[in-house]
Amino acid sequence: MIHERTGHRPFLILIACFLLGALLLPGRGDAASRRKGPYLILTGKPTSMTVLWQLDGTATCTLEWGTDRGYGLGRVRTTEHGDDHQHAHTIDGLEPGTLYFYRVSMDGRPYEGSFRTPPGP
């Protein structure tokens, strides 16, 4: 006795085409995205500030800072440290009691913020 099971064949073909299409679509599946931060940590000195953030994958990022949104005082490229895709950079040489702006860029996506350094002694 031979049974024909053709009732499910069109459905299975549709599922296979969908999965194949999903695999072939261009996308940012490999791009890391922001998981936490950026956030700031005081260093204990009124002339520095540490900026930290965490991604969900590996990526090289850029941190820029300045006294206005032109970010003209500094720029560094960061790579992750540790095994949890964390990035950190301590900005030194800042003036006490001064407002600064910073921007973290990752895969062309900027995250902007500002901080004021503590007053000097």
The pLDDT tens digits of the residues spanning 21-56 come to: 444 443 344 467 777 889 999 999 999 999 999 998
Buried-exposed string 43-82: b where 16+ CB fall within 10 A, e elsewhere = beebeebebbbbbeeebebebbbeeeeebebbeeebebee
Q: What is the pLDDT of residue 91?
A: 98
Q: What is the pTM (predicted TM-score) of this model?
A: 0.71
**Domains of the chain in sequence order:** 34-116 (2.60.40.10)
For residue 47, the SS3 value is coil
Q: Convert the pLDDT of each residue in 56-106 to its tens digit.
A: 888 889 999 999 999 999 999 998 988 889 999 999 999 999 999 999 998
